[in-house]
Amino acid sequence: MDNHGIARVPRTARTEEQRRQDLDKIRKYRELEDAIRDKAAHDSYHDPALFALTSKLLRLNPEYYTTWNVRRRCLTSGLLSRPSAGSWPSTVSPSSLPSVTTSRSPAACSSSSSAANPPSPPSPTTGKSGTTVDGDDDNDAQSAAANSQKSQSSDTKNIQSDTDVLQSELVFIIPLLLEFPKCYWIWKYRKWLLEQAILRLPRPVASSVWEAELALAVKMLVKDRRNFHAWGYRRYLVARLESPALLGRSLAEDEFAYTTRMIKGDLSNFSAWHNRSRLMLRVLDERRADDKARVAFLETELDLVQEALNVGPEDQSLWYYHRYLMSQVAGPHGRPSVTPNLTAEQKVSYLKREVEFIKDLLQDFPNIKWPYEALLEYTLALRKLQPDAEAEGEEDDPKFWLAKLRKLDAMQTGRWNDVERDIERQLVACSNE
């Protein structure tokens, strides 16, 4: 059997030597696991040895999610600095960043406070004689300035240290992702690291870390274009990059162009078509497209998917995208749509045109069920748009195409019975309006 283009290798019987080696690996694995559990039980998260042990175990078994949690505790217990309470550096300008300290001593807290709220220049006070008393104020100002410089220096060191630690962790994960691209816990840990970047680093630094992650998503999707983990990760990255905490601007156009590239590389890329359908309404809104531009956009998308269907009419993802586009044409008023202001005549024209296109396709590919499902849906939409129109032939009746589906896919009799009841319900509701 084939899995996303990767052939499955049949298992062969193990030799006695292989069994002995496996038992030795199991023994070492259990010793490693026991060592981690022992140190974690004694709250030794500040111990560098525990962090190193988690690296060894996760390289052997990245599915061991408890070990990822131990690794998080190691980072927050010493390897990463401690952000001051209530701070969220990446959401403010670098000049107003609060201090990130490595200890909870009173002096450190005082230093952090002075960095977060720089003292205002002291105003001179007037004595009884009318003269300005400023000797003590000058000393206080000099002391505050010195403390502020020390705090800023400490902040810079902490930011650099945190950047190095987070970058090192991101690099550590890459080989694991390449070997185990569908392990939930690796992706979750990587997201946690990126959130730490927002929490601990200045906005420009955090933004550069997040933008670099898009390159990883590209690499993972080149390796497996249909890896839904990588697609979900990319959507997560884009959504956070668009937030005020990072870039604060839309990436919809860039992502729409990316789906075009991915589709041209693989017409069967279901996730790329899905992402495209999610982006198009945003793209049109951001372009401030008028009705004419929206119709032109729809025509372009229909041409694209028709061209793909002529090449691969058996591809389910293409039919889903085609049906999505037609739902934008024939869908009810009041919901967001690519073409919200089409007249009833224009909707009928689009539906009839696509019905004819599919009928032509069926002449060469009569045994694929996806075209019949589309024809059933589109003829039903035409009947609802023209409830008083007389049928020109049996092919205008959605039940005609339902009968074809019953023959092609007899295993789903129950489903087709439900579809037939739904058709009757919709037609009755339409005739009563």
Q: For 353-368, how does the pLDDT look when each residue is reduced to its tens digit (9 = 90+)?
A: 999 999 999 999 999 9
The answer to whether 310 and 286 are in contact (CB under 8 A) is no
The SS3 of residue 82 is strand
What pLDDT score was predicted for residue 139?
64
Q: Which two tokens stand for residue 223?
A: 């390796």
Residue segments in the chain with a per-residue pLDDT below the cut of 70: 1-7, 83-154, 391, 433
The answer to whether 204 and 94 are in contact (CB under 8 A) is yes
Other C-beta atoms within 10 Å of 189: how many?
24
What pLDDT score was predicted for residue 128?
42
What pLDDT score was predicted for residue 113?
35
Instruction: Measure the CA–CA gap between 144 and 138, rounded to whole angstroms.
Output: 10
User: What length does the chain have?
Assistant: 433
The answer to whether 36 and 60 are in contact (CB under 8 A) is no
Torsion of CA 55, 56, 62, 68, to 10 degrees: -40
What pLDDT score was predicted for residue 137?
60
Phi-psi region of 235 (alpha: psi -120 to 50; beta: other; left: phi over 0): alpha
Strand pairing report for 100-101 and 82-83: antiparallel
What pLDDT score was predicted for residue 169?
97
The SS3 of residue 6 is strand
What pLDDT score was predicted for residue 130?
47
Instruction: Measure the CA–CA gap between 153 and 112, rounded to whole angstroms.
Output: 11
What pLDDT score was predicted for residue 428?
86
